[in-house]
Copies of this chain bind each other. A is one copy, B any other.
Amino acid sequence: MQTVAKPQERQTAYSLLARHALFAGIDDQTVEMFAQAGQLQEHTKGNILFLQDDEAEWFYVVVSGWVKLFRETMDGHEAVIDILTYGQSFGETAILENGQHSFGAMVVEKSTLLRLPAAMLKRSVTENNRMALAMLHTLSDHRRRQTREIESLTLQNASQRIGCFLLRLCHIDMPQPIELKLPYDKSLIAARLGMKSETFSRALNKLRDETNIKVEGSNVIIPNLDTMSRFACSACSNEFPCEDTHHSH
């Protein structure tokens, strides 16, 4: 972990926070206070930020890269709860859960993170009703994402879930065929989608047959967005493009 030099830091922190849902409609003075207290940090792949049940000293906003949230089961397996990227925050809900993190967080690709003091957030939410309302809205967004996640795990088959994952990396106005780079390891994508590696491979082959995508290493080519969304979105209550993709954050 490496902390970035001070001067540019506050400006980056400020512009990131000012656009974050947690600070929507919040006065400049408060945003500035958080930006001052924030620390920009560069992390390499594999860094653990905190573990489940740790006291929450900080919460985080992703500036770039990818962070995995996870929980460990009694028999030592890992459930990947979420994988977050640019503009998404995590750890802030600990202030509502006795100050402890209910999951662990690990950097899965080289990342820059802004960390902010949890105590400052707790004080602001308690004293400032606008902060409380803004936090209510972010939790409500999160709830909607999780509901979609449960729906997808319940109704989509493995190939459709992979298709859904790929669609979430696409913008509707990208020129076709669309060329993508997978954001992180295939084994992690499998875990994120709740599949064993073998299931993932089989399902990816089926998706290839159904939608004519090409996959070479981490490069993916999607020839036709309509074909893909017809295949993946039929078993879902959302239409492509989803309201709850990363881009809307």
Residues in chain A within 8 A of chain B (CB atoms): 52, 71-75, 77, 79-81, 93, 96-97, 102-103, 125-129, 132-133, 135-137, 139-140, 142-144, 146-147, 149-151, 153-155, 194, 233-237, 239
Contacts and interface: CB of A to CB of B under 8 A. Distances in A.
A192 to B, nearest CB: 9
Contacts of A233: 74
Contacts of A236: 73-74
Kindly report how many copies of this chain are found in the complex they form together: 2
B143 A150 contact: no
Give the interface SS of chain A, mostly helix, strand, loop or mixed: helix
Contacts of A52: 237
Nearest to A236: B73
A71 B237 contact: yes
Nearest to A72: B237
A140 B101 CA distance: 12
